[in-house]
Amino acid sequence: MQVASYLKLSIAVALATIALKTGAWWVSGSVSLLSDALESLVNLAGAMFALAMVTIAGRPPDDDHPYGHHKAEYFSAGFEGVLIFVAALAIIVAAVDRLLRPQALEDLGLGLVLSALSSALNGALAWAMLKKAREARSVALEGDARHLFTDVWTSAGVIAGLLLVKLTGWLWLDPVLAIAVALNILREGARLVRRAADGLMDQALEPEVRAQIEATLAGFAHQAIRFDHVSTRRAGQRRFVDLHMHMPAGWSLGRAAALRTSVEQALMSAVPGLRASIQLLPMDVEAHFDDLRDPL
């Protein structure tokens, strides 16, 4: 199943969980269950935006975007993080109001059953989405999956807390739980926004991937061949590496180009989704870069 298909399934599950959690809040009157339902609204909006961004990211390069549209996925993660902030603030406002004006809970048993059912749906979907996100290296899908996992743990905490409310009669615990939910999803929102910002600023590839690249290059290096100025970056699902390959000045262009092709193919075989760009230089020539500061 493709990434877009998982996101469409996420939208369908979000609609189902919104109905279940809203029902749980409606029958119980619990503000913490209301906070859980609000987070599911964020899940829905996030999944819809992620689907739109994944669709854009899949477009081929064009004249205005010669390197493709892969970074569109980072907008999805950032957008979902912002939505989480908004939902958390709304939850805190509702919880503070309930804390100041306590209200008895009604049919709590049915509300907890509906909440548990919605959590089971989210948990199963999140596990499948995270597995697919790692296979496809999809930032948008991973962001949606991790948010769903946050939702699952949030719901588990709310259910446990409301069972305690039912046993003790401590009504103040319900809004306190809602505030705890808000703080938890704020943390997840901050992580998503930071991840999106790192991606938009051309963050380097993961350490284990860079190690694979270095190991592949080491297989070609000897006295007549060396590599330097190796730099990497990510753009959504796409990975890039740029480097210089030095070789004897007396080699023919055909021989040098053939070796470069072999190195590029080896790199792209070792790291799925990698695009390698190799500049050929004579062994006695060094490339220099202005490392101080680019002029404004």
* CATH of residue 239: 3.30.70.1350
* 129-138 residue pLDDT tens: 888 877 776 7
Q: How many domains does the chain contain in total?
A: 2
Is 224 in the same domain as 193? no
68: phi > 0 → left, psi -120 to 50 → alpha, else beta; which?
A: left
Query: pTM for this one?
Result: 0.59
- Asked if residue 219 is part of any domain, the answer here is yes
Q: How confident is the model at residue 267 (pLDDT cuts 50, 70, 90)?
A: very high
* 195-227 residue pLDDT tens: 777 767 777 888 888 999 999 999 988 878 989
Q: Two tokens at 248? A: 């004897």
Q: Which of 9-23, 84-98, 241-255 has the highest mean pLDDT?
A: 241-255
* 101-149 residue pLDDT tens: 776 666 677 777 888 888 888 888 888 888 887 777 676 677 777 777 7
Q: What is the pLDDT of residue 46?
A: 75
Is 124 in the same domain as 223? no
Is 129 in the same domain as 231? no
Give 245 or 136, the one with higher predicted confidence. 245
Question: Is pLDDT above 60 for 258?
Answer: yes
Is 138 in the same domain as 269? no
Q: What is the pLDDT of residue 288?
A: 60
pLDDT over 90, % of the chain = 9
Q: How confident is the model at residue 296 (pLDDT cuts 50, 70, 90)?
A: very low
Nearest to 106 by CA among 24, 20, 25, 28: 28
Domain boundary among 200, 234, 263: 200
Is 212 in the same domain as 171? no
Is 194 in the same domain as 236? no
173-181 average pLDDT score: 77
Nearest to 140 by CA among 75, 82, 235, 206: 75
Structural domain that includes position 221: 207-282
Domain boundary among 178, 200, 222: 200
- Asked if residue 85 is part of any domain, the answer here is yes
**Which residue type sits at 46?**
G
Residues facing residue 280 across a β-bridge: 245
Is 176 in the same domain as 214? no
Domain boundary among 174, 200, 226: 200
- For residue 107, the domain's CATH number is 1.20.1510.10
3-state secondary structure the chain: CCHHHHHHHHHHHHHHHHHHHHHHHHHHCCHHHHHHHHHHHHHHHHHHHHHHHHHHHCCCCCCCCCCCCCCHHHHHHHHHHHHHHHHHHHHHHHHHHHHHCCCCCCCHHHHHHHHHHHHHHHHHHHHHHHHHHHHHCCHHHHHHHHHHHHHHHHHHHHHHHHHHHHHHCCCCHHHHHHHHHHHHHHHHHHHHHHHHHHHHCCCCCCHHHHHHHHHHHHCCCECCEEEEEEEEEEECCEEEEEEEEEECCCCCHHHHHHHHHHHHHHHHHHCCCEEEEEEEEECCCCCCCCCCCCCC
Q: What is the pLDDT of residue 216?
A: 93
Q: How confident is the model at residue 293 (pLDDT cuts 50, 70, 90)?
A: low
Residues facing residue 283 across a β-bridge: none
Residues facing residue 206 across a β-bridge: none
Q: Which of 30-34, 72-76, 137-141, 229-233 has the highest mean pLDDT?
A: 229-233
Q: What does the mean pLDDT of the chain come to?
A: 79
Give 52 or 288, the one with higher predicted confidence. 52
Half-sphere exposure of 175 (CA within 13 A, CB side): 16
Give 118 or 41, the one with higher predicted confidence. 118
Is 107 in the same domain as 87? yes
| Angle formed by the axes of helices 253-270 and 207-218, nearest 10° | 140
Q: How confident is the model at residue 13 (pLDDT cuts 50, 70, 90)?
A: confident
The secondary element (H helix, E strand) that includes residue 91 is helix 72-100
Is 237 in the same domain as 181? no
- Asked if residue 296 is part of any domain, the answer here is no
Question: Is pLDDT above 80 for 160?
Answer: no
Is 255 in the same domain as 120? no
Distances, alpha carbon 75 to alpha carbons 163, 200, 206, in Å: 39, 9, 20
